[in-house]
Amino acid sequence: MGDEPPPKPASRDLGPSNPPIAGLDEDVVDQVSGLGATLILTPTRAVLIRQGAQYRPRSGVRSWPYSTMRDVQVVPPRHGNGRVVIRLGPYPWQSVNLFVDATEWTAAERVVGKIRAFVSRARRSQRSAGSWEPPETGQ
């Protein structure tokens, strides 16, 4: 009988091995597995699928078009976990956080780079169509 603590599960052990992406009706460009959720990129939006999404009909699967995103940030791993932050509004509570295990960090940085490219492309297409307005400052 050992007194050592059980091993810390990796993010791939916590989340579903194959998130339910069949219902997206879009091609999957890239994805990163986080702690309890998977962030999936399609050509038009980012989709967050939480572990146990079938039990969370309102919050288990969330998606945002790239044109609605204000900013995407990465917070480097500390104590084994980093963060991907998608800001949707001017206030701190208008953001989505995906915690990522350090072993998935390169995938997280790759996904954030792709999100930034998609956001930039969406803003350029809105500007050329004349429908783009700068985000509200919250003042």
Stated as kind and residue range, the H or E segment containing 109 is helix 105-129
pLDDT, tens digit, 9 for 90 and up, residues 3-55: 665 555 444 444 444 555 556 678 899 999 999 899 999 999 999 998 876 66
Cα angle value 124/129/135 (rounded, 5°): 55
- Reported as a single tens digit per residue, the pLDDT across 101-137 is 999 999 999 999 999 999 999 888 877 776 656 555 5
Q: Where are the domains of the chain?
A: 25-129
CATH 2.70.70.10 fits 25-129, yes or no: no
pLDDT at 128: 77
* pTM (2 d.p.): 0.73
Residue with more model confidence, 139 or 86:
86
Q: How far apart are CA 29 and CA 40, in angstroms?
A: 8
- Beta carbons of 98 and 13 less than 8 angstroms apart: no
